[in-house]
Amino acid sequence: MKAEQLTGACATHGEGPVWDAAAGRLRWVDMFSGDVLTLDPAGAVERLHVGSVVAAVRPRVSGGLVVAVERGFTMLDPGGRPVRHDTAFNDAACRMNDGGTDRQGRFFCGSMAYNMADPRAALYRYDPDGAISTVLTGVTVSNGIAWSLDGAHMYYIDSATQQVEVFDYDTALGIPARRQPLARVATETGMPDGLALDDEGGVWVALWRGAAVHRYGPDGRLDVVIDLPVELVTACAFGGPGLDELYITTSRQGLTAAGRAAGALFTARPGVRGLPCTAFAG
């Protein structure tokens, strides 16, 4: 299966796509430009500048957005104006990287060291009242995260492990436990980055330096490959009114000879539906 290019190379480092069902639009980030991007129905890309780094974005139940910025979280009102900021950590060697919301509307985002090597990062939970908790430590490159429809399992990638992992998840407390490997990605295939879940129990994984998205079945076996014409594939999310379109973000960060497609948004129709995104309850 091959992905189709949907936009021009609109991002230097595109990341974190999410389908905003209330708005009927796809949103993602251009991380180091500090911008939230929105695809309008006509196919144009709108930009909202938030700060120096924007790592992840989710819609808010009350309207507006919540964004993970370099070292914390910022809530935006429906006009894109910041209404609250909470700092998660002060380690200048680290930044936020990727995130998502659990089925109860709590926003999680994990960090990574700028050198991509030190296991000094963590996974943070941002509650609707603004409280921040550390739920995992010893992380190197925190990446894709998503929850099963019933919320009982959390799927997660620390890219340095080359694995997709699954946790039992305490929905009342918002705490993952009993970490288990689901699938391993061979180093020569690429580095696992963002992920998305479908309604058949499949896990779709973007491969950094792998020019592809892989689907792993509930048993952890690779069963679908979507090829892309660019090397740096960062993340994926199901969207569209039927949640049957897979949107894929890409990057041209650090590439000296990137083609015109690097940094574009791509799409594919893999024949399954994705799980809906839960809006942040704050």
pLDDT the model gives residue 258: 65
Span 199-216, average pLDDT: 98
Over residues 53-59, the mean pLDDT reads 98
- Mean pLDDT score, 25-47: 96
Q: What is the pLDDT averaged over residues 4-28?
A: 97
What pLDDT, on the 0 to 100 scale, is given for residue 90?
97
Query: Structural domains in the chain?
Result: 4-268 (2.120.10.30)
pLDDT at 210 over 90: yes
Mean pLDDT over residues 109-114, rounded? 97
Catalytic sites, residue numbers: 193
pLDDT score of 184 more than 80: yes
Q: Say if CB 12 and CB 30 are below 8 A apart.
A: yes
Provide the pLDDT confidence category of residue 256 given band limits of 50, 70 and 90. confident
* Greater pLDDT, 61 or 257: 61
Q: What pLDDT score was predicted for residue 259?
A: 75
Mean pLDDT of 77-87: 97
User: Is residue 39's pLDDT more than 90?
Assistant: yes
Instruction: Let me know the angle formed at the C-alpha of 155 by 153 and 159, rounded to the nearest 5 degrees.
Output: 160
* pLDDT higher than threshold 70 for residue 138: yes
Say what the pLDDT of residue 244 is. 98
Whole-model pTM: value is 0.97
Confidence band, pLDDT 50/70/90 cuts, at residue 123:
very high
**Mean model confidence pLDDT for the chain:** 97
pLDDT tier at 148, thresholds 50, 70, 90 = very high
